[in-house]
Amino acid sequence: MRSIEWRDGKVRFLDQSQLPAKEIYIETDDETVVARAIKSLALRGAPLIGIAAAYGFVLAFDRLKSNDVKSVTACIERTTHLFVSTRPTAVNLFWAVNRMRNLAIDSAGKSLEGIHANLLAEAMAIHMEDEEKCRRIGQLGAEILPNAASVLTHCNTGSLATGGDGTAQNILKTAWEQKKLKHVYMDETRPLLQGARLTAWELQQLQIPSTLITDSTAAFLMQQGKVNAIVVGADRVTLNGDVANKVGTYGLAVLAKHHGVPFYVAAPTTTIDFEMVTGSEIPIEQRSGSEVSKIGNYQIAPEGVDVYSPAFDVTPNELITAIVTEKGVLRKPYREALEALKKQDMSKLIRKLSSGREGR
């Protein structure tokens, strides 16, 4: 299943806000529709919203009438603002927007057809790269799970959230295929129930044995010894290894520490923010109070009640057993591991640029 794809000049995506009751796909050639879908969580998941924004850039330039500098610059600025203003926490979104923005700037002066072709190729490359990252994360993560693993997961990290088979959830899928996985427990993930609505739906399709629990049941489950690993995704990882993920993740990490359960984070390197040192710097998205006071259109709390509804929380690095990326499994001290990863990436970039100069 592909949650998003480019099809005949349009973006086609699955409206996740309708799952599991309805499986509805939306096709559009309007970038504002894509942006609204990201903001409303019809499109969600850190890697997926980056891919969606990349395709949105293509749609914006598809309707451009002139390739003069003023028109191209205005389109770049408008489209950049449109997407970076949708959701503040997931760094993949900003990474993808900057990648498309820089290419658009470099393409200035080309024909409209040339600009569009460059942007579409880049958006498709971002999509395909994420698919490969998911595959590698699944392989590397499955290797570190215990045999006959009974795993607890939070929120949704499967194909609905990425360009491939998922991050944390692909670790579970790969482990199941390798006969290392015994069972999955998934938190319902209040307030928007991504675990109940989305992860439960995906695991059923994959025919992986799974049990849905309320968020508050996790502690009792660990106390009974029914969980021997926790695997979650991430929306931003800072240089010291602090992790922002769906609200409720921090509580799980504290519980895991108390019960001696390893706590793994699965994240592509595009989720790492090398410019942000600690989790205290991460902007935390605040959602509408109605997402807590209502379930769907049904009011479950008194009208006018004050609500605090952060979409994410931050898990300190000392509570994390390992961070699984497509480039390897990172362990403490995370700052050293992440700085080494950054240097490795810089060395590859320098070699690539040098190779390009030599070829001219």
352 pLDDT above the threshold of 90: no
pLDDT at residue 64, as a whole number: 86
pLDDT-derived band at 353, boundaries 50, 70, 90: low
Residue written as token pair 């049990």: 211
Lowest-confidence pick of 105-109, 176-180, 207-211, 349-353: 349-353
Q: How large is the average pLDDT for residues 34-56?
A: 97
Is the CATH code 1.10.645.10 the one for domain 4-133?
A: no
Query: Could you confirm whether 235 is annotated as catalytic?
Result: yes
pLDDT-derived band at 88, boundaries 50, 70, 90: very high
Q: What distance in Å separates the CA atoms of residue 79 and residue 82, rounded to the nearest whole number? A: 5
Q: Which of 235, 242, 273, 313 is catalytic?
A: 235
CATH 1.20.120.420 domain extents, the chain? 4-133
pLDDT at residue 66, as a whole number: 85
CATH 3.40.50.10470 domain extents, the chain? 136-346
313 pLDDT above the threshold of 70: yes
pLDDT at residue 44, as a whole number: 97
193-241 confidence digits (pLDDT tens): 999 999 999 999 999 999 999 999 999 999 999 999 999 999 999 999 9
Q: Which helix (H) or strand (E) holds 264?
A: strand 263-266
Q: Which helix (H) or strand (E) holds 47?
A: helix 46-62
Report the Cα 100 to chain-centroid distance in Å: 18
175 pLDDT above the threshold of 90: yes
The answer to whether the beta carbons of residues 39 and 17 sit under 8 Å apart is no
Residues with Cβ within 8 Å of 170's Cβ and at least 6 positions away in sequence, in order, are 134, 135, 137, 138, 141, 157, 158, 162, 164, 266
pLDDT at residue 108, as a whole number: 80
Structure tokens at 85: 């203003």
Q: Which helix (H) or strand (E) holds 314?
A: strand 312-315
Q: How large is the average pLDDT for residues 17-38?
A: 96
Task: Identify the CATH homologous superfamily for domain 136-346.
Answer: Translation initiation factor eif-2b; domain 2 (3.40.50.10470)
